[in-house]
């Protein structure tokens, strides 16, 4: 084990730090298949080539860096480089920077690496641009159909097909990739913790047990545009009212169920200060500890939306844009990870990850690194230098356990 790991972490982290950083917000705007994403992908390729790893882009636009010849039983680590709008620095990139450094550590050890090892950058994990999360891993595993992916459209009307084509991906090749899945013996994703559980127990690193089921629904309310100064309240068909009531319903019902409901994105048409809106679209992100609770909650919030719309002369339609079942990570793999780390805290999370998508197809595990602020999807994400290094060391120990036999 080298002792200058903190400095090497700093160097590698700095090489990525300014890409997509907004001077205005202090957050990152790293959206899939944009010029910024292209810079990130070039960075990944350079890191792979500078280490003599074999660099490949798979059929779905995910980037891979292999140590050894890709083959059955490969040990894969990595995460994503894209971000939510004004996201924090660590969500995603920490898993990839740590992966490159952990592979460096692995190669510096005396024990021979006996299995292929790969680092992956999954494309479009956050779904910030096209609305569906984990597109790269969903396509790889066949969870998302290629025709559905191609038709996804961003806020400017650009389809995913157009965006991927202009980034040089052969759109005809999208789809489940069985040969590549067959090369993944285990996938271990290191990620910044998106809560304060590790801080509470004073531990730098933890292991995931599972991910709550979750989904995204579009609530569309259609009324009638009219003048704010001349239309009597009684004559209005204002979609903002049932939308507001639906936000409150989601909050109170999720509080009662111990779930997490969020309306974080709204589109108002025509979005004028002196006009009654003709349409309000709100996106509900809902997460619960089990699938029954999630289904019951969505139905109840939908019923509330429909009835609030009817009361206000507005129509409401609810469309599920994506849903992800509960994830329980592979117990045998989790036990080996725990053994390699000498026992660390185990925690579940409400946040979705590529590891969650992969877990239905290959053994998958996650390591979390302590986030002092507990805040994520915001520039306030925070990690101590010592914890970042502890994360790399933990990942290297796990890779050694899995790939050196
Ligand atoms: Zn992430």
Q: How do residues 22-80 score in pLDDT, each as one tens digit? A: 999 999 999 999 999 999 999 999 999 999 999 999 999 999 999 999 989 999 999 99
Its sign, for the CA torsion 24, 28, 34, 36, is positive
**CA 77, CA 118: separation in Å to the nearest integer?**
6
What is the 208 CA–ligand 1 centroid distance (Å)? 14
pLDDT exceeds cutoff 50 at 174 = yes
What is the 274 CA–ligand 1 centroid distance (Å)? 39
Q: Are 261 and 286 in contact (CB under 8 A)?
A: yes
**CA 144, CA 394: separation in Å to the nearest integer?**
32
- Give the domain 5-211+326-403 fold: Aminopeptidase (3.40.630)
Q: Are 78 and 121 in contact (CB under 8 A)?
A: yes
What is the 192 CA–ligand 1 centroid distance (Å)? 8
Q: What is the CA radius of gyration of the chain?
A: 22
What is the 228 CA–ligand 1 centroid distance (Å)? 42
The whole-number pLDDT of residue 351 equals 85
- Phi, psi (deg, nearest 5) at residue 48: -65, -50
What is the 341 CA–ligand 1 centroid distance (Å)? 22
Tell me what the pLDDT averaged over the chain comes to: 95
What is the 75 CA–ligand 1 centroid distance (Å)? 20
Helix-strand-coil split of the chain, %, nearest 5: 40, 25, 40
Q: Shortest CA distance to 351 belongs to which of 118, 95, 178, 180?
A: 95
Q: Domain locations in the chain? A: 5-211+326-403, 214-324
Find where tokens 């914890």 sit.
387
What is the 117 CA–ligand 1 centroid distance (Å)? 21
- Tell me which DSSP letter residue 331 carries: H
What is the 80 CA–ligand 1 centroid distance (Å)? 7
The whole-number pLDDT of residue 352 equals 84
Of the listed ranges 76-90, 256-270, 374-388, the least confidently predicted one is: 374-388
What is the 398 CA–ligand 1 centroid distance (Å)? 20
**CA 45, CA 24: separation in Å to the nearest integer?**
29
pLDDT: which is higher, 65 or 379:
65
Global pTM value: 0.83
Does the domain spanning 214-324 belong to CATH 3.50.50.60? no
Q: Are 399 and 77 in contact (CB under 8 A)?
A: yes
What is the 238 CA–ligand 1 centroid distance (Å)? 37
What is the 127 CA–ligand 1 centroid distance (Å)? 11
**CA 351, CA 313: separation in Å to the nearest integer?**
36
Using one digit for the tens of pLDDT, what is the confidence trace for 71-118?
899 999 999 999 999 999 999 999 999 999 999 999 998 889 999 999
pLDDT exceeds cutoff 50 at 2 = no
What is the 191 CA–ligand 1 centroid distance (Å)? 7
**CA 380, CA 241: separation in Å to the nearest integer?**
33
The whole-number pLDDT of residue 30 equals 97
pLDDT exceeds cutoff 80 at 3 = no
């Amino acid at each position: 084990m080298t002792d200058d790991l903190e400095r090497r972490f700093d160097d590698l982290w700095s090489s990525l730090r300014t890409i997509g950083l907004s001077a205005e917000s202090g957050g990152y705007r790293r959206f899939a298949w944009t010029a910024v994403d292209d810079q990130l992908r070039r960075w990944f390729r350079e890191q792979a080539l500078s280490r003599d790893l074999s660099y490949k882009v798979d059929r779905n636009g995910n980037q891979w860096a292999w140590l050894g010849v890709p083959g059955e039983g490969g040990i894969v680590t990595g995460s994503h480089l894209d971000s939510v709008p004004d996201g924090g620095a660590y969500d995603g990139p920490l898993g990839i920077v740590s992966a490159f450094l952990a592979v460096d550590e692995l190669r510096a050890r005396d024990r021979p690496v006996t299995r292929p090892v790969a680092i992956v950058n999954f494309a479009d994990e956050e779904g910030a641009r096209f609305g569906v999360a984990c597109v790269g891993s969903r396509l790889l595993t066949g969870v998302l159909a290629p025709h559905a992916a191609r038709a996804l459209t961003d806020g400017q009307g650009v389809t995913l097909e157009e965006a991927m084509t202009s980034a040089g991906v052969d759109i005809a090749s999208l789809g489940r990739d069985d040969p590549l899945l067959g090369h993944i013996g285990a996938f271990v994703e290191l990620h910044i913790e998106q809560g304060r559980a590790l801080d509470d127990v004073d531990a730098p690193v933890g292991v995931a047990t599972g991910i709550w089921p979750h989904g995204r629904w579009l609530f569309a309310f259609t009324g009638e545009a009219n003048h704010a100064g001349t239309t009597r309240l009684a004559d209005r068909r204002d979609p903002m009212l049932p939308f507001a009531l639906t936000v409150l319903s989601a909050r109170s019902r999720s509080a009662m169920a111990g779930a997490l409901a969020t309306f974080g994105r709204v589109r108002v048409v025509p979005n004028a200060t002196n006009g009654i809106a003709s349409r309000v679209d709100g996106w509900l992100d809902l997460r619960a500890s089990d699938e029954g609770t999630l289904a019951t909650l969505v139905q109840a919030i939908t019923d509330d939306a429909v009835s609030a719309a009817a009361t206000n002369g507005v129509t409401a339609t609810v469309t599920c844009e994506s849903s992800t079942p509960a994830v329980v990570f592979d117990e045998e793999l989790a036990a080996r990870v725990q053994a390699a780390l000498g026992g660390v805290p185990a925690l579940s999370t409400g946040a979705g990850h590529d590891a969650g998508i992969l877990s239905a197809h290959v053994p998958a595990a996650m390591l979390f690194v302590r986030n002092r602020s507990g805040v994520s999807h915001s520039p306030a994400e925070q990690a101590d230098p010592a914890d970042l290094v502890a994360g790399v060391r933990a990942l290297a120990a796990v890779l050694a356990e899995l790939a050196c036999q």
